[in-house]
Structure 1
Amino acid sequence: MRHILIRSGDVEIRARLLATPTADRIWNALPISGSVRTWGKEVYFRTPVSHDLEPDARIVVSKGEIAFWPDGDAIAIGFGATPIAKRGEIRFTSKCNVWAVALDDVDQLKAVYPGERISVVEAANDDTETWAEEPAACPAGAVNRQHRARRSPQPVRHCASSDEGGSAG
């Protein structure tokens, strides 16, 4: 299973890649970095990747799904309403390919502002077996452990299990 880390400032979000052509293309382009843009409660940034729409591309996504916006060659992460959203949905301007699922709370993106640097790196393979496969399994307030991403020289944090001193919060 392939995992990535999305990082901007103090925000770090782990994600699991899906088995899609878009995920393959992004994986092969790592590391990727860009300048944050926002649109309502959406963070997006341009990438060196180009890809066509996949058959299951959609305009409305669920919280925690990470998408690729082919019209802008950008990674898009919605964490709430966008200016064109109907009540209770995350709606992009046009269809996007969902290629990953966040394992951490994407509400952290509220702390990311336009113009900040954002990066996507491959997570270290030796750490992925300790990662929860669902965001709910990594509660807010859990104690974090330090690990290193293979393609990044800086330490990254991820959720520790409750038997490692974590606490539900």
Structure 2
Amino acid sequence: MTNPTRIRITWPANQLTATLEDTPTTRALVAALPISSSASTWGEEVYFETGVSVPRELDARQIVDPGTVAFWTDGDSLALPYGPTPISHGDECRLASACNVLGAFDGDPRLLATVRPGDPIRVELA
């Protein structure tokens, strides 16, 4: 996988595409696609289980930019912040713990505000 990988995340109200960097976590995620899950929300973050289990990478980060596609290794989940979470200081996107950073959304990550807890969510190659 030398070119960036693009994925599409869909839920009942909308969809977004994201461009992912070539990382061990990205490769493990892509190998498991398509993934269907049930969405959860935590402040201005959407997360959901993937069934993929990977170790935390050396460059994992807890504070990321809005629209970052992150992998929460503690919960085998994609973590998709678009604004502050309950543990943020100010407007930062602070994840529950350090997460593997995979890439970023191509469009406006605020579309994630239309995700409701329990929504079916699907990840596939774009």
TM-score band w.r.t. shorter chain: over 0.9
Q: How do 1:67-86 residues align onto structure 2 when only pairs under 5 Å count?
A: 67-86=70-89
Q: Within the alignment, does 1:22 sit opposite 2:16 as a pair?
A: no
Give the Cα separation in 2 of the matches to 1:101 and 1:78: 10
Name the counterpart of 2:119. 116
3-state SS of the aligned residue for 1:4?
A: strand
Give the aligned partner of residue 91 of structure 1: 94
Partner Cα distance (2:93, 2:123) in 1: 22
Runs of 4+ off more than 6 Å: none
1:57-104 deviations in Å (ceiling 9; x for gaps) = 011111111000000000010000000000120001111001121101
**CA distance in 2 between partners of 1:54 and 1:98 (Å):** 9
User: In structure 2, what is the equivalent of residue 42 of structure 1?
Assistant: 45
Structure possessing the higher radius of gyration over alpha carbons: 1
Structure 2: give runs of 5+ residues left out of the alignment.
none
Shift in Å, 1:56: 0.3
AA in 2 matched with 1:8:
W
Distance 1:96 1:50 in 2: 13
- Identify, as 1 or 2, the structure richer in strand: 2
- Counterparts of 1:102 and 1:83 in 2: how far apart (Å)? 22
User: Residues of 1 paired with 2:104 and 2:83: CA distance?
Assistant: 15
- Following superposition, the deviation at residue 40 of structure 1 comes to 0.3
Between the two proteins, what is the percent identity of the paired residues? 44
Please, what is the CA RMSD of the aligned residues? 0.8
Relative CO higher for 1 or 2, CA cutoff 8 Å, sep ≥ 6? 2
* CA apart distance, 1:33: 1.2
- Separation in structure 2 between the aligned mates of residue 33 and residue 100 of structure 1, nearest angstrom: 20
**Structure 1: how far apart are the matches of 2:93 and 2:38?**
21
TM value normalised by structure 2 = 0.95
Instruction: Count residues in correspondence.
Output: 123
Distance in 2 separating the partners of 1:101 and 1:110:
16
Q: Which residue of 2 aligns with 1:105?
A: 108
Structure 1: state its 5+ residue gaps. 124-169
Q: 1:7 aligns with which of 7, 10, 13?
A: 10
Tell me how far apart the structure 1 counterparts of residues 95 and 83 of structure 2 sit (CA, whole Å): 11
Between Structure 1 and Structure 2, which shows a larger proportion of helix residues? Answer: 1
